[in-house]
Structure 1
Amino acid sequence: MARPGRPKKKTAEAVVKDIKRQTRRKFNAEEKIRIVLEGLKGEESVAEICRRESIAPALYYKWSKDFLEAGKKRLNGDTDREANTTEVNELRKESDNLKMLVAEQALRIRVLKKDLNGLT
């Protein structure tokens, strides 16, 4: 039986997962670009760069592919970008306001037409 006040023992696998989760490096965009450009220069092999940066070669190639795809889109004139939630909410509010304005104008036009038909 477990004693009160004593923490439960974790399995070795759980401990390793926790350590990996806490020690995982997070690369910002500038670091990723620097690493990809080093590989594209060709002065060092990709394997050497990956070893030095402590990343898997598959991760390097993923970053490289993303980098080249983004460059290709930009050169083709694709300036689309993802809108953040604030922008989306503002656009929805503006859309609702414009719909309301159109409905009010349509109602006014209908009323004026009825008044005009009543005069003739």
Structure 2
Amino acid sequence: MNTKHSKPSAQAVVKDIRRATRKQYGAEEKIRIVLEGLRGEDSIAELCRREGIAQGVYYKWSKDFMEAGKRRLA
């Protein structure tokens, strides 16, 4: 049997589709989401659920936002 032209596994196909269809957030969207989180009207968990992002992503964006502000003020 020739395994050179074997089909990719179903998991690999699903992973590739998810990667290709993942939403890309622009700078303005990231800033809007971070500022909404800083307002504190909703919990971070609720905000992330509503926006469809992981909490880790939110906290990374928040850290980047604060670091950029700190550099700008220095």
User: Taking structure 2 as the reference length, what is the TM-score of the superposition?
Assistant: 0.88
What is the count of residue pairs matched by the alignment? 72
Q: Tell me which residue corresponds to 1:16.
A: 14
Larger RCO of the pair (alpha carbons < 8 Å, separation 6+):
2
Which digits, 9 at most, give the CA deviation of each residue in 1:31-55, with x for residues without a partner? 0000000000000110011001110
For the aligned residue pairs, the C-alpha RMSD in angstroms reads 1.4
Counterpart code for 1:31? E
Structure 2 residues without counterparts, runs of 5 or longer = none
User: Which runs of 4 or more aligned residues in structure 1 lie more than 3 Å from their structure 2 counterparts after TM superposition?
Assistant: none
> In the alignment, which of 61, 71, 74 is matched to residue 72 of structure 2?
74
- CA distance in structure 1 between the aligned counterparts of 2:16 and 2:22, rounded to whole angstroms: 10
Q: How does 1:20-59 map to 2 (within 5 A)?
A: 20-59=18-57
Structure 1 residues without counterparts, runs of 5 or longer = 77-120
Quote the offset at 1:70 in angstroms.
0.5
Name which one, 1 or 2, has greater alpha-carbon Rg: 1
Quote the offset at 1:9 in angstroms.
2.9
